[in-house]
Structure 1
Amino acid sequence: MSKAPLTSRLTIDSLIDAQVDFMQQWLHKQAEPLSMEAWRWFGAQPLSNYINCDHLQHLMKDWLLNQPMTEVMRTDIRDILHTIIYHPVNDNVPLSELVDDTQVQTLANYIGSHEQQRNVLIHTLVGNETFADLLTQTLYHAINDFMETTLDKAGGVGKLMKLGRSSFEKATNRNLDEKLQTYLHRNIKDLTRKAEANAQAHLSNQEVARLLIMGWDRIKDQPISELQTYLSDEPNNSSIDHIEAGIQQSYNRLRLSPYLHSLVSASIDTWYANHQSDTIATIAASLHINEEAMAQCSNTLLPIVYDAIETPWLTAHIRDMLEAFYAQPAVKEGLALNHD
């Protein structure tokens, strides 16, 4: 008995079911090579075919700069900073792991060879008024403590000296402590100014560089965790919270600044002028994204693609597409198939 023609045993619905199943299996098998072929095609396209300078300007300004950082992202930044700063590994890694000796040498030589920077450094170290005030108070307390201790142990002589001090204050209508502080303040400031002028006049470039390098040598072997001593980790007084809030304040002010927008526009114009004729692959290669990297990325994403192929929503879309195809009068008439 001869078999009936294939077309007489198929309906449009059963044909669609078979095609949906075939397409899903075919896509599952071909997902990896298709993704690489798509990358090769995309990589060969010139940037200017799809992206112009205005697109980049819109992306950077309207989407990035005009949008504040979300609270979720800010929380993540704070948590990550806390993890990095207070990680136990910092107890066993020296500061020299962060900064190489050659970098310090280069910076020291640069500062030492530039007069303005050198003078700023000397002023900070020697001529700083805050340092002079601190030294004044330190000397005052040391002298006052010495005098009080000496007078208490001097017996009658000490009482006589205290009487003389009282007489001096009554005669001059001035407190001796105040007089002493004024004298120290005036003279120490004068000494620090002279010391600063002398240092600026006589410290050579090599000596300034040597001082910086010596300072680095004293601290470079300390663990990175030493930096934690300058931070507070109290729940209501976290240094990390203050740092992140300060960065956010600066960021929010700058991102809306016409000044920053002007610089961003100029930077985008420069970049686009340099790369508008490049292919996508050439630009990607400058970021170390090549075919090997894309193959690794493709392998990582394949489980997602496989799951997507098998989802009900994709199955439904494929079915809708095929039903629309077979619903065309010319197709229905040509195939001579019917629904169940």
Structure 2
Amino acid sequence: MQTSKDSQNQTPPVDTEHKADTENSHFQTNLVGTSLTIDSLIDAQVDFMQQWLRKQSEPLAIEAWQWFGEQPLNKYIRREHLQHLVNDWLLNQPISEAMRTDIRDILHTVIYHPVNDNVPLSELVDDTQVETLANYVGSHDEQRNVLIHTLIGNETFADLLTQTLYHAINDFMETTLDKAGGVGKLMKLGRSSFEKATNRNLDEKLQAYLHRNIRDLARRAETNAQEHLSNEEVARLLVTGWARIKDQPVSHLQTYLRDEPDNSSIDHIEASIQQSYNRLRMSPYLHSLVAASIDTWYDNHQADTIASIAASLYIDEQAMTQFSTVLLPIIYDALESPWFTAHIRDMLQAFYNQPNIKESLVLNNE
């Protein structure tokens, strides 16, 4: 390349204005040539980078996971991040309508699936689980007494028994009086006289008497059962009750549900879940428990590596290899997508447009 000094020694003097125009024209020509060279170079580099990344995407993914897995949790994630994640992403958001629809549809599919007709309840709950629960309840006085109270001392049960006995006695009396002839008429007259004299309806008097006495009998029966039923007998009652229903198909549970367009049990169940969730997610009580739980978990694992935490969820290198294999088609399509190509091109153009890079290319092109 000639220097300015060499040019002065070898060529005669020229007009200064003509020289400036010539040099400017020469510089513009170089810029055009350089621009074309850069564009061609960028095209080649974009194609090379896409092909290289396509071939290296799988090992790169594994190496990235290996590097990430070696990092400690507290290097990138603080307990405040977890708090914000749970509070802002979960608790502060209601269940979306799309998710509510999915919950209803999935519940309907699971509950009314034909396979339930051929699967007994015993396949869902093992006999040993029932026996363990029965022995636990039977061996704890408080739980055992609650069970006995539920079965014997329950007021609802007493009310039901009162109504049953009342209807039985009333039906017996009516049937007997109708067949008793003159004696029946006399008894009806006595009943009428009793009601006028006491200003009380005999039916109401009978119900009150039964209700009072049956409740008292139920309390006595509950006390006797709590005193005399042994732990083994209580456990045996539970196991016997389970034995009576365990061979019934799972679909038997459908008899307790309604599946009508305007009266669907599944809709009621889903609405109840939604209502409970909305009430709890805004509760300071739940927020306090969530915060305490996150603190406990973070204190236990903040020094652990990402890989060890993932391993507790059975996510290891083999699982990541399988996962990356599934994702490869997505990665390939992304590498060849117009948006990724445009970003690579913009990055390379920004690189070559740097003054020092452009100047070096211009000088080399001369």
Normalised by the length of structure 2, the TM-score is 0.86
1:11 touches 1:337 (CA, 8 Å); kept in 2? no
Matches within 5 A, 1:157-176: 157-176=183-202
In structure 2, distance between residues paired with 1:114 and 1:39: 50
Which stretch has the larger CA shift, 54-63 or 217-226?
Answer: 54-63
In structure 1, distance between residues paired with 2:197 and 2:272: 54
Q: Which residue of 1 aligns with 2:207?
A: 181
Q: 2:123 aligned to 97, 112, 137, which one?
A: 97
Q: Identity, % of aligned pairs?
A: 81
Q: Which residue of 1 aligns with 2:278?
A: 252
1:12 touches 1:338 (CA, 8 Å); kept in 2? no
Q: CA deviation at 1:167?
A: 3.1
In structure 1, distance between residues paired with 2:208 and 2:91: 53
Q: CA deviation at 1:337?
A: 8.7
The reply on whether 1:119 has 2:145 as its aligned counterpart is: yes
Matches within 5 A, 1:1-340: 11-336=37-362
Q: What is the RMSD of the two structures over their aligned residues, measured on CA atoms?
A: 2.0
Q: CA deviation at 1:298?
A: 0.4
Q: Secondary structure at the match of 1:221?
A: coil
In structure 2, distance between residues paired with 1:324 and 1:182: 94
Residues 68 and 337 from structure 1, CA distance in 2 versus in 1: closer, same or farther, beyond 3 angstroms?
Answer: farther
1:96 touches 1:221 (CA, 8 Å); kept in 2? yes
Q: CA deviation at 1:338?
A: 10
Deviations 1:127-180 (A, max 9, x none): 111111111111111111122222222333333332333333333333222222
Structure number with larger C-alpha Rg: 2
What is the letter of the counterpart of residue 119 of structure 2?
V
Structure 2 stretches of 5 or more lacking a match?
1-32
In structure 2, distance between residues paired with 1:73 and 1:79: 10
Q: Which residue of 1 aligns with 2:15?
A: none
Residues 311 and 337 from structure 1, CA distance in 2 versus in 1: closer, same or farther, beyond 3 angstroms?
Answer: farther
Q: CA deviation at 1:260?
A: 1.4
1:254 touches 1:260 (CA, 8 Å); kept in 2? yes
1:95 touches 1:223 (CA, 8 Å); kept in 2? yes
In structure 2, distance between residues paired with 1:314 and 1:111: 64
1:45 touches 1:279 (CA, 8 Å); kept in 2? yes
Q: CA deviation at 1:297?
A: 0.6
In structure 2, distance between residues paired with 1:51 and 1:290: 20
Q: Which residue of 1 aligns with 2:10?
A: none
Normalised by the length of structure 1, the TM-score is 0.92
What is the letter of the counterpart of residue 234 of structure 2?
V
Structure 1 stretches of 5 or more lacking a match?
1-6
Q: Which residue of 2 aligns with 1:4?
A: none
Which stretch has the larger CA shift, 108-117 or 242-251?
Answer: 242-251
In structure 2, distance between residues paired with 1:182 and 1:328: 99
What is the letter of the counterpart of residue 310 of structure 1?
E
What is the letter of the counterpart of residue 112 of structure 2?
Y
Residues 337 and 123 from structure 1, CA distance in 2 versus in 1: closer, same or farther, beyond 3 angstroms?
Answer: farther
What is the letter of the counterpart of residue 215 of structure 2?
K
Q: How many residues align?
A: 332
